[in-house]
Amino acid sequence: MQVIDSTENDANKIGLNKTTLEDVALEIPNTFGIHVNAQHVLPVHTESELVTLWQQATAKNQPVLMLGSGSNVLILENFAGTVLLNRIRGIQITESADAWHLHIGAGEVWNDLVNFCLDRHIPGLENLALIPGRVGSAPVQNIGAYGVELEQFCKYVDVIQLKTGEKFRLNKTQCKFGFRESIFKHELREHHAIVAVGLCLKKAWQPILNYGDLKHLDPQQVTPRQIYNAVCTIRRSKLPDPAVLGNAGSFFKNPIINSTEADNILQSYLNAPHHPQSDGRIKVAAGWLIEQCGLKGFKLGNAAVCDHHALVLINNGNASGREIAALANHIRQQVANRFAIWLEPEVRFVGKCGEVDAFTAIS
């Protein structure tokens, strides 16, 4: 077994390596670049630290928010409690005849993991290049891009029940993965934290090039690193860098509609992008629906629809969470008026005491 200690103690760097709560207001990291504070924002490096801090905060009746990098959240207002940033690191690899088995700390940076694998000639994750966030967030969202989803590799997820400190392992089926969905958004949304993820990457590698932007690559010749580079180039050309322009990637999920609804759209829009699913329903591109409503580049206060990619909402500078939510609501209404489809946010909404229902928050 190869054990890589990737511990980069960011807490020590910024002097926050504590296991007690301090009454200081601190800004919550989020890729939308929205300026919001919590009473405490603490990185956690071990499972016991995580349980201790969570229990200390809840004993004081404080709400607790668990975050990785804040890459898929819209924080609507200051948080009235403690934010714990998962920084549990470490990657362990074991090898069997036909696969590599990885056990990864939830606080590892996702794209660093992808590079780590490719550097060791372990292919599989290349289509998931450059997705922001930490490994622990990947199963929550069942991250996916260019025809690949985490569930294809996920063997297990290790979870801690924070009230009791009990750790347990969910296999892939128990994770109830779906399109940007999992049990971690539902039954295990509260009082639980993901501490590690187990992946199985098969040695019999096949390139996955069926998405339009990758079709030009030669399946006989292409290497995993070349796919990684191609995905990075595409993403950089289409998606704004959150470090420059605050955003959380795709704001809405691609709706999956029945064939009658799809036919209605296709009668009026012959070129509407649509992708039949195995269950007979049809996936339509949310970005295309928004674009058809003339909303690409649309601004509402300091929030805007990205003019490169209509599925991405951006913070044009000093936008509040409420402004972005108001823009999201406007988009939903426009798309519903035109196509009779209610878009569902992919981004999760956080209010002052924790996650809130996005529909309620934006309607």
Chain residues in the site for ligand NAP (CB under 6 A): 144-146, 210-213, 238-239, 249-250, 254, 273, 275, 283, 285, 287, 311, 346
Q: What is the 3-state secondary structure (H, E, C) of 265-298?
A: HHHHCCCCCEEECCCCCEEECHHHHHHHCCCCCC
CB 27 within 8 A of CB 36: yes
The smaller minimum CB distance to ligand NAP, of residues 147 and 190, is found at 147
List Cα–Cα distances, 107 to 47, 52, 133, 183, 234, in angstroms. 11, 17, 9, 19, 26
The minimum distance between CB 8 and ligand NAP, in angstroms, equals 25
| Residue nearest to ligand NAP as judged by C-beta position | 249
Instruction: State both tokens at 187.
Output: 């039954």
The smaller minimum CB distance to ligand NAP, of residues 166 and 307, is found at 307
Q: Count CB-CB contacts under 10 A for residue 357.
A: 11
The minimum distance between CB 180 and ligand NAP, in angstroms, equals 7
The smaller minimum CB distance to ligand NAP, of residues 85 and 214, is found at 214
Q: Which of 87, 180, 235, 332 is catalytic?
A: 180
The minimum distance between CB 187 and ligand NAP, in angstroms, equals 22
The minimum distance between CB 161 and ligand NAP, in angstroms, equals 28
Sign of CA dihedral 106, 112, 116, 118: positive
Q: Which of 71, 137, 182, 250 is catalytic?
A: 250
- The tokens 């009454």 sit on which residue? 23
The minimum distance between CB 72 and ligand NAP, in angstroms, equals 7
The minimum distance between CB 239 and ligand NAP, in angstroms, equals 6
How far is the C-alpha of 290 from the C-alpha of 322, rounded, in Å?
20
| Interacting residues of 186 by C-beta distance below 8 A, sequence separation 6+ | 176
DSSP state of 16: -
The smaller minimum CB distance to ligand NAP, of residues 54 and 339, is found at 339
- What's the angle, vertex CA 108, arms to CA 102 and CA 112, rounded to 5? 85
Sheet holding 166-171, edge to edge: 2-4, 91-95, 99-105, 192-202, 154-161, 166-171
The minimum distance between CB 210 and ligand NAP, in angstroms, equals 5
154: left (phi over 0), alpha (psi -120 to 50) or beta: beta
How far is the C-alpha of 149 from the C-alpha of 191, rounded, in Å?
26
Q: Which of 47, 126, 151, 346 is catalytic?
A: 346
The smaller minimum CB distance to ligand NAP, of residues 113 and 311, is found at 311
Q: Count CB-CB contacts under 10 A for residue 52.
A: 15
The smaller minimum CB distance to ligand NAP, of residues 99 and 282, is found at 282
Question: Catalytic annotation on 346?
Answer: yes
* DSSP per-residue letters across 108-174: SBHHHHHHHHHHTT--S-GGGTT--SBGGGHHHHT-EETTEEGGGTEEEEEEEETTTTEEEEEETGG
CB 33 within 8 A of CB 25: no
The smaller minimum CB distance to ligand NAP, of residues 79 and 110, is found at 110
Question: Catalytic annotation on 137?
Answer: no
Question: Catalytic annotation on 261?
Answer: no
Active site residues: 180, 250, 346
